Amino acid sequence: MHQGKSITHPYLTFLFLALVFWLPLPLGSNRAWAWSMMEIWIFVIAISTLILVYKNKLTVPESVAKAKPVLLLIAGFLVWTGIQIIPLPVNLLQLISPHAAKIATASGNIGYASIAIDPDLTVKSLLKGLSFITLIILMLILIDSHKKIRWLAYTVLVAGLFQAAFGSWMVLSGMEYSFFIEKEAYRGFATGTFINRNHLAGYLEMVLAVGIGLLISNLSNERSRDWRDRLRRLSETLLSPKALIRVTLIVICIGLILTKSRMGNAAFFSSLIISGLLFLLIARHATRSTTIFLISLVVLDIILIGSWVGVGKVVQRMENTSAATEHRDEVARDTISMIKEQPLTGIGGGNYSSVFPNYQQLDVWDNYYHAHNDYLEFLSEYGLIGTMCLAAAVFYCLLMAFQAMRRRHSALMQGMAFASFMGIVSILIHSSVDFNLQVPANAAMFILLMGLSVIVTTTDHIHR
């Protein structure tokens, strides 16, 4: 591994940032052609990076080596996904995955069978997983300076601004389109170029976290001496990029509220309060300006602007929604029955939609391709073995973000640590009732937040 002065390649960084902007555009990359394009894009950048590293034209930062625990845990998850595909003797399968052995025997297969009920679907999940671990490694290599961290943050913010503005305009104008396709569902709700309003909400939650972290990193540490100084600082703020970021956050917040996603809004509010209080308690950069900013964000952007665009309707909808109109509890019940069959090994990555109908009771009559609960879906597909690897990786990243907020002196590093922590917490809350992590664009954004926690914690002498 190369050490010393960093040598970077601007073209690869540009391709990486272009990918970050592109991923949410084609229906959240939640179609086979779209996620195939994502995988090819990632692997092309990776191959180009390997060639440049081999020729000593690009150096690998120290953060890659220090990210080893996270990378090993994700790699362990991928190894387990690969094991799910391997044909095993049915006698051995009976010991580790009795239900899979039972299915194989019932179909007349007494020789070899895999843990995955449909191995082809698991191969597709494995390929996605390989692209995501490659994405985080590329991030650690290419985003190696203060300038590039800001580039990444601004790219995420611009992508979120487009999604929020486009989604809001579609709702307010009545021209209901997603990605060049007229909407068939969720009319009257902001969806951006996603299909599902909840997935736009999940994406915007993470974007808002990055934007808030970026604005925190730009806040002044100095106190105003008198009213003239306050006036001068106010003028500078209004003419600086901080004002533009602030307006961007307001637009994105409006877009989030117009999704009318109950848990999306609740997850954003909750994660902001949790992360904000934690930051004010432990951060070295938690100044008076930071405190005022976080409080104003809660009071003005959420309550006042939220009521202007109809947050009252969101609350009313939450009150009027009954168990008779939604079946998520019943789906969770039937998914738990599926988990009990193979709690350790799971049914195989990507197999939920093909196996769930076998457990679906009569009071759930719709087709459910996902569990509407990421935790239950991961447990059902990957079992305790695979899910614990992922959970440990996420927890480790949360811990690193927490440590960076507490220890780092750099305002940028602390702000991005806040962004990582808040964004991860928000999706962890939202995942209890939805499947954001099954949507490639949102899963990739979540991976970027995990990578951000590694960068801000493990890089001691990052170049400015």
Task: Kindly list the averaged pLDDT for each block of 10 residues, start to end, along the chain of length 464.
Answer: 53 96 97 97 97 88 90 98 95 88 83 92 97 97 92 97 95 86 86 95 97 85 51 50 84 90 90 91 71 70 52 52 59 92 94 90 77 95 97 97 90 94 97 95 98 85 52
The confidence score (pLDDT) of residue 181 equals 84
DSSP 2: -
Helix (H, G, I), strand (E, B) or coil at 298: helix
Q: How far apart are the first and last CA of the chain?
A: 21
Q: What is the DSSP string of 346-388?
A: -S-TT-HHHHGGGT--TT--S--SS-S-HHHHHHHHHHHHHHH
The confidence score (pLDDT) of residue 234 equals 47
Tell me: the pLDDT tens digits for 193-211?
A: 999 999 999 999 999 999 9
What count of residues does the chain have? 464
